Structure 1
């Protein structure tokens, strides 16, 4: 036993020393793990707002793609208008309640420490407007204005509309004259409409129907008439039921006022005085160059989005959203300039006349052949507008060669040119049409215009089209193809198999919250054509093709979900 004890002590000592040695050895540390960015909400601006208004959620680690974030206000998901890594702009949804705001981004869900308070504003008083307004007026955002029948601003009178004001167009059943004429606002020659909204307080023209019951063509629309030139005889009646005739004017610097940061929703109703005719969301007849038109959105029109009948008016930053017929249409010798316009279609909605992106005509429908230039008494002989930086989106999937929706309603061309129009289109994208470019007329007239650069198409991208180029009349498809694909013009045809190369925004076709800013590295962000008619001082020099570079100019003032917006408070 003693011997065993004598052996035990040395053994314990050895074990203790081994433990000390092992403990003194440096244990290798695990490599540092990268810190995952934390999603936070730092503030809500404003922290009190009513349903239908926009608020900004400031914080960190948001996704710059709006659709990759989820914002909940009082348990109800909100529509995200725009997104950066530190700011989400959202619309307060119907059914929202006071309480914290939650954001899900980057796999993390966080709640705000600041409480959001839902404002319960009282109903605004309404003011009925009808007939001819024979006095200067100012409409304010404290009231809602109802247009019944054709409401005219006559010559020498001015209507001023305050930023943030809502105007509703009544349906034909509320026509005070009993003629079933839908509500509309018409500015006559030498009359003036001053409608200057702001990015945070746009002026809204919309349907008088309650939220949830609005539809295409609930009311007429807005009509501006001026003293700039048109190529019609002086006795020609104004189109689509507007009173008066064009008369003989030629004053290109005429001024009909200003439309800035304005939304026009659910216009384009049928006009009873002209069977089958509809006003556009915004109709411009002989409007002069000194009229200010920018940041205008036309949504859910039962007719065209924007129509120019002659005149010389310029426009920038236009939005045509889910309209029924054409997005942009020019006729009667329009010679103005347009830059930065985006159109998004609902592929299930079109017009029986054939819905086009850009439709440019010139003479009467029976003038199917090119005609020799003439000098009419009251204007120029040909359409000669210049459009630059348009983005038109129709079908996201490959469109059928002949696209028919809703029975007799059809889609047709991204660009339709006919009746000797000498339009110029620069640095624009037309995506998802059965036809990309169609030119109708005689080969002789077409060749004269193309050779002289009176007709000028440069930097144009036709993508995802059933048939990219079509000639009609005596113009052949080969002639147009040779012209369009000339290397010097910098035009492109992108096949359906190569669409991913455009690196479009993934939300370009998201109907309730689109975003059209291309992805980083998109070829559309460079390579713009220069020179030609876009060398005038009106055009903003940019190096991108389409309506957007890296700046989303839609933020704040547009609305892509107007159906449920409460405009009464």
Structure 2
């Protein structure tokens, strides 16, 4: 056997060790991309000020919103699937797509786009940053010089019902909803929509731990499907300023111990404050008249909570419909609020009597006071008994279920699980049948089925893209 000289053997061993060390450190792997702009201490590319030309982000980078970030008119911000965007707390980072601009943010079921807190896992909280705001040119009932809440500079609304603000699909918005000023009503919601038109695509969107509402529509005609509101602070689905869009398949799950000082509701709907006079276009008209179908709003299967151990206020109503609203809700289930339906004000009651405001296929369950009137005095006054008679009218297929009979709904055993909920119905559920698709719900936008609420027993449309434990997720 031929022998290597000792020095040659040592040299070969050293070379092998060096090669092994290189492989362990992955020095031969792909070179990380050079950041496309200034970065913060965590290496996230900073987005600040105005985006005044078309810009495409990269899923290989992480981004930090500092202050109000405006995508200006005529420009498009494209966000690929899997991109992660963080909101800065100190500067109340907020992404605002102005009127005439677009967002093209289309994630996938297995690779959603994520907007979240810049804080580390375990330290995130309600209202860590501003949120996502879309501003469009669709009709509203406010003057066209009216400005959004929270000091946002962008005028909204117009005459283009089909206005297109882009796409937001398979996206999560977490820990947003911070007050942007000390003025009343200065909060930004998880997703805020000002005068957004029906040309916009909104589908598969989750808002979690918002410090204000989950979703709020200020006028416009935008339609949406597959919305998830998870453990938010104030209202889940809030409509104002003449919103007339259509929404199908939405679910809310609340933490019973967190609510807002204003009284948290599943649905809150106003024409505007105070709701009248409604004299004409951009002056009270159009009336707020969205149509919702297949919504599920859950607080608790236990006794409805009227005082909170945490938060700043308490729960109020499953549906608080007030200030001359003409909203309609079909084929939906509401469980665990202290009140079920609160019809508020004589103008709201008049809209219900005229058929503009309608509820059908509705289940109110586990409420202390399922049906009530509010502020119904003077001309047009109405009572709790009037509301009950209207709600229970023939053909509506509405029902009230007591807490003692909640099991008849056949909800999933994990329906109220705050870390791993499952909303699919049991095969025995009474909600699998009884849907009503008449009147406004007969519109072609709505997929007609037999079940009430957002889920049947087989199609879990939250699977793959949602996250019900964002506090412990390392982004």
The question of whether the paired residues in 2 share the 8 Å contact of 1:435 and 1:466 is answered with: yes
1:552 to 453, 460, 465: 460
CA distance in structure 2 between the partners assigned to 1:484 and 1:299 by the alignment:
32
Deviations 1:152-189 (A, max 9, x none): 00000000000011000001x2x3xxxxxx00100000
Partner of 1:111: none
Deviations 1:370-415 (A, max 9, x none): 6464212478331000011000001220215x44443751100000
Q: Which residue of 2 aligns with 1:210?
A: 120
The correspondence for 1:480, drawn from 379, 387, 390, is: 387
Taking structure 2 as the reference length, the TM-score comes to 0.88
Aligned to 1:232: 142
**2:356 maps to which residue?**
454
Match of 1:164 in 2: 82
What whole-Å deviation, never above 9, does each CA across 1:414-462 have from its counterpart, x for those lacking one?
00000111111000000000000001111xx445423332111000000
Give 3-state SS (helix, strand or coil) of 1:500's partner: helix
Aligned to 1:515: 422
| Distance across 1 between alignment mates of 2:53 and 2:166 | 16
- Quick check: 1:129 aligned with 2:47? yes
Unaligned runs of 5+ in 1: 1-121, 176-181
Distance 1:239 1:125 in 2: 32
Unaligned runs of 5+ in 2: 1-31, 34-41, 377-381
Q: 2:304 aligns with which of 369, 376, 399?
A: 399
Equivalent residue runs for 1:527-546 within 5 Å = 527-546=434-453
Q: CA RMSD in A?
A: 1.8
| 1:411 and 2:311 correspond | no
Q: Secondary structure at the match of 1:130?
A: strand
How far did 1:514 drift?
A: 0.2
The answer to whether residue 341 in structure 2 is matched with residue 429 in structure 1 is: no
CA distance in 2, matches of 1:269, 1:450: 35
In the TM superposition, 1:48-197 aligns within 5 A as 125-171=43-89, 173=90, 175=91, 182-197=92-107
Structure 2 distance, partners of 1:478, 1:391, is 26
**How many residues are treated as equivalent by the alignment?**
431
- Give the superposition deviation at 1:274: 3.0
Structure 1 residues 307 and 240: alpha-carbon distance in aligned structure 2, compared to 1, 3 A threshold? same
- Relative distance call for 1:275 and 1:488 in structure 2 (3 A) is closer
TM-score, normalization by structure 1 = 0.73
Q: Is 414-423 or 379-388 further displaced after alignment? A: 379-388
Cα distance in 2 for residues equivalent to 1:276 and 1:485? 35
Q: CA deviation at 1:235?
A: 2.3
Relative to structure 1, is the Cα distance of residues 208 and 447 closer, same or farther in structure 2, using a 3 angstrom cutoff? closer
Name the residue aligned to 1:332.
241
Cα distance in 1, alignment partners of residues 68 and 243 from structure 2: 25
Larger radius of gyration, structure 1 or 2?
1
What are the superposed Cα offsets for residues 114-168 of structure 1, whole Å, 9 maximum, x if unpaired? xxxxxxxx99952110000111111111000000000000000000000011000
**Distance (Å, rounded) in 2 between the aligned partners of 1:277 and 1:377:** 22
> What is the SS of the residue equivalent to 1:240?
helix
Once the two structures are superposed, the pairs formed by residues 305-384 of structure 1 within 5 Å of their partners are 305-364=214-273, 367=274, 371=276, 373-377=278-282, 380-384=285-289
Does the Cα contact within 8 Å between 2:132 and 2:192 map onto a contact in 1? yes
Tell me the distance in 1 between the aligned counterparts of 2:225 and 2:72. Answer: 26
Please give the secondary structure, in 2, of the residue aligned with 1:487: coil
Q: Is the 8 A contact 1:229 1:379 kept in 2?
A: no
